[in-house]
Amino acid sequence: QKEVEQDPGPLSVPEGAIVSLNCTYSNSAFQYFMWYRQYSRKGPELLMYTYSSGNKEDGRFTAQVDKSSKYISLFIRDSQPSDSATYLCAMSLSGSARQLTFGSGTQLTVLP
Amino acid sequence: DADVTQTPRNRITKTGKRIMLECSQTKGHDRMYWYRQDPGLGLRLIYYSFDVKDINKGEISDGYSVSRQAQAKFSLSLESAIPNQTALYFCATSEPTGTSGYEQYFGPGTRLTVT
């Protein structure tokens, strides 16, 4: 079993829809949770970052972490065609190593 | 100019050949990483380096070696390439401390095909 599980999709939604992307994990020691966005033929870039449980909002994006359920989510409101990309969850233990464990990514297409 | 650059961007090589992938960064970060990305498997860490004299194996280091020539340069070598090393390879950098240390900055990737 992988440490981090992510539905690969592909997920296709109409413009303006609310998108929900999710990851589950098995290691309860993870403390830092991130969402990276990867456009086609590009490297991933950090989209959202959350420490421990709770919600974090940034514009149209909301990240949620539920450590009791070992479940994290990324919500995209009013989705746009420019949001079409692969979304990777990532998580890390506390400490100095800063090593990230990534999910396999969910491919999202927002149709105009 | 891009902060993290990788060369070559695409490479096709034959089984058994030695190949080197290069990464350079202008972000001034001490920490550098090499990942491979495969469909359905996500990004997996091959090696990471905290500074020029500190190199560590990641999750899947077998068949790979690295060299940290300077703070800004980190190279990945495949000593004898095999077809299952066909993948997309990414270099990344990060700061060492604080919450910003969890943000990694990725290069554009090298698509490697081993025939």
pLDDT at A14 over 80: yes
Give B7's pLDDT tier (boundaries 50, 70, 90). very high
* Among the ranges given (A23-27, B1-5, B86-90), the one the predictor scored with the smallest mean pLDDT: B1-5
pLDDT digits (tens, 9 = 90+) for B76-86: 999 999 999 99
* B31-38 vs B87-94, strand pairing mode: antiparallel
Q: Do B48 and A105 touch (CB under 8 A)?
A: no
Q: Do A49 and B102 touch (CB under 8 A)?
A: yes
**Which of B102, B103, B111 is most worth mutating to test chain A (most A CB atoms within 10 A of its CB)?**
B102
The pLDDT assigned to A7 comes to 83
Chain B residues whose beta carbon lies within 8 Å of the beta carbon of residue A90: 43
Of A42, A103, A105, the CB nearest to B108: A42
Segment A25-50 shows an average pLDDT of: 93
The amino acid present at B89, given as its one-letter code, is: Y
The pLDDT assigned to B93 comes to 93
B83 phi, psi to nearest 5 deg: -55, -35
Chain B residues whose beta carbon lies within 8 Å of the beta carbon of residue A43: 4, 90, 92, 106-109
